[in-house]
Structure 1
């Protein structure tokens, strides 16, 4: 069976561009998390590995290398695990597949290593700019930041997803609710757990 892995950093980001090449026969795995979180520790990443271990998934599509992670070692580890399981990984933005027939594709490994390194550098650059911006805002006295220890209440969280609650109460599946409401599967799962 084929699968598509999608990752967005925050729930308010749109993941539609990662679904442009989506096919109806692909099983979707959508994570809402930072690219710095190791693939094997992500909710849907774990589920995908489990499906691979059961032999249910033999082909995975992903929009770009940085969707797998922003840490080169983690990306290479993930790809190695999938390759050892005989799973073909396709990076849509590169038009490359990790396997040719039943052999590993050396060109894929070279290019994904370079692209993974670029993704890691982009994250480091973004964090550096963020730190610089915070330092400037603090110097001007305009930096507020999140109040330490503050959290959203259950009621506040659920009030943001009334459409998700409506679909779930109508008996809609988790994946269809996520698509209809344009939120991540993880968000739908969290809403279901809280209602």
Structure 2
């Protein structure tokens, strides 16, 4: 049986294109999800697809990054498929078919390159944030807690537990803000 797996990272993205490509590739059964691909953990549809495949089946994805973003995760998935007697085929990256030795080699090389690209992207992001901080442009995430309101409520005699409840924040956050402002 040919089993398809489709994944997009966010709710705003559509699975439709991948699902159409998988059907065109002859998939009899599809598993789809909207979940981050940073790790294979927490991906229910992937787990279901891996449990579903049986000896002689082939798991098909449109692109390698739909399946895994790290070499370790990818190799673990391929090893698990091999133990079950299943293959892996990638439709939009020709040559990736783990039922052939050339496909296995191609897969290993592409997986290493994909992991390298991810690390380079992270480095560029860190460098960009550091430069923006130097210029005073990047100030981080906006505070979700109104520190002035915390101090005002405390000054009016409200207890930290009441402040937390009223502002819908954690009591520890109230204590932290009061400590920083020297009111604790």
Tell me the TM-score normalized by structure 1. Answer: 0.62
Q: Distance in 2 between matches of 1:73 and 1:109?
A: 15
- Counterpart in the other structure of 2:13: 13
Give the deviation of 1:145 after TM superposition.
3.9
Q: Distance in 1 between matches of 2:59 and 2:97?
A: 9
Unaligned runs of 5+ in 1: 100-104, 151-195
- Counterpart in the other structure of 1:69: 68
Secondary structure of the corresponding residue to residue 7 of structure 2: strand
Q: Distance in 2 between matches of 1:142 and 1:41?
A: 35
Taking structure 1 as reference, are residues 81 and 17 closer, same or farther at Cα in structure 2, changes over 3 Å only?
same
Q: Distance in 2 between matches of 1:142 and 1:62?
A: 41
Taking structure 1 as reference, are residues 130 and 79 closer, same or farther at Cα in structure 2, changes over 3 Å only?
same
Q: How does 1:88-167 map to 2 (within 5 A)?
A: 88-95=87-94, 96-99=96-99, 105-147=100-142
Taking structure 1 as reference, are residues 145 and 9 closer, same or farther at Cα in structure 2, changes over 3 Å only?
farther
Unaligned runs of 5+ in 2: 146-184
Q: How many residues align?
A: 142
Give the deviation of 1:23 after TM superposition.
1.3
> Which one has the largest radius of gyration?
2
Q: Distance in 2 between matches of 1:77 and 1:34?
A: 18
- Counterpart in the other structure of 1:44: 45
Q: Distance in 1 between matches of 2:85 and 2:143?
A: 46
Per-residue Cα deviation, 1:18-57 (whole angstroms, up to 9, x for no partner)? 33422175322223333321x35422111112212xx398
Q: Is the 8 A contact 1:2 1:57 kept in 2?
A: no
Per-residue Cα deviation, 1:145-184 (whole angstroms, up to 9, x for no partner)? 445789xxxxxxxxxxxxxxxxxxxxxxxxxxxxxxxxxx
Secondary structure of the corresponding residue to residue 21 of structure 2: coil
Q: Distance in 2 between matches of 1:40 and 1:71?
A: 12
